[in-house]
Amino acid sequence: MADSNHTNRSNSEPGGEPCACGGHACARRGFFRRSLGLLAGSALAWGFSLLAATHLLWLLGLARFMFPNIVIEPPTKFKAGRPDDYQPGQVETRFTTRFGVWIVRHQYRGRPQIYALRTYCTHLGCTPLWLDAEQKFRCPCHGSGFSKEGINLEGPAPRPLERYAIRIAEDGLIEVDKSRLFQQELGQWQDPDSFVPV
């Protein structure tokens, strides 16, 4: 009797009715049904899974927002040697690549001074070149030309080059501060922070 109950249980469908095929196929079919039910689930389970995944993505986006992109730039202040290192009429180009600055010792309106010119053309922001033979700055993009003082002479540049703040630091070295700009057309080249008298 126990054997017949065991046979009936193994040959029956999950609903309790006996299986007509003999047992093994029905057990396999039941296994696949149960597996599919666990994997697929109901539409409600799928909806909540998608909702949870969406919330997780939003949280990851929020976490990324809390850590902004960082741009590493050269320092805004740097030392450029002693005033005696610069000869009258000299344009120093060694700071062009790293700091984007020309150090010039020249006269402006009859006053000898050292000043720092920004290496950006005022037309479209290209980097002009210092042409020692012609004693002027020349932009290779559209042909703008600037005098040694930074005044626009030719081409489409609408205004002179800009100056950076410059001073003699406590240690006697020239210090250029790129965080402050001076524009000639605004009369800012008269500001004592835009040049070092020599």
Give the three-class secondary structure for 178: strand
Q: Number of C-alpha atoms within 13 angstroms, CB side, residue 72?
A: 0
pTM of the predicted model, to two decimals? 0.62
Q: What is the 3-state secondary structure (H, E, C) of 146-158?
A: ECCCCCEEECCCC
Taking only the tens place, the pLDDT of each residue in 10-44 is 444 445 555 555 556 566 667 767 766 666 667 77
Give the pLDDT confidence score for residue 22 in this predicted structure: 55
**pLDDT beyond 80 at 192:** yes
Count up the domains in the chain and report the number: 2
Closest CA to 118 of 107, 126, 110, 106: 126
Residues 110 and 169 in one domain: yes
Closest CA to 147 of 97, 89, 193, 94: 89
Residues 47 and 131 in one domain: no
**pLDDT beyond 80 at 104:** yes
Identify the bridge partners of residue 77 per DSSP, sorted by sequence position: 177
Residues 89 and 154 in one domain: yes
* Domain housing 49: 2-65
Residue 164 in any domain: the answer is: yes
Task: Let me know: does 150 contact 135? Beta carbons within 8 Å.
Answer: no
Please report, for the domain that includes residue 183, its CATH number: 2.102.10.10
Taking only the tens place, the pLDDT of each residue in 50-78 is 899 999 999 999 988 888 787 777 678 98
Give the pLDDT confidence score for residue 23 in this predicted structure: 57
Residues 144 and 183 in one domain: yes
DSSP secondary structure, 111-171, as one string: EEEEEEEES--TTT----EEETTTTEEE-TTT--EE-TT--EEESS--SPPPEEEEEE-TT
Residues 111 and 190 in one domain: yes
Residues 141 and 162 in one domain: yes
Closest CA to 144 of 133, 159, 132: 159
Residue 100 in any domain: the answer is: yes
Residue 71 in any domain: the answer is: no
Residue 145 in any domain: the answer is: yes
Q: What are phi and psi of 121, to 5 degrees?
A: -65, 135
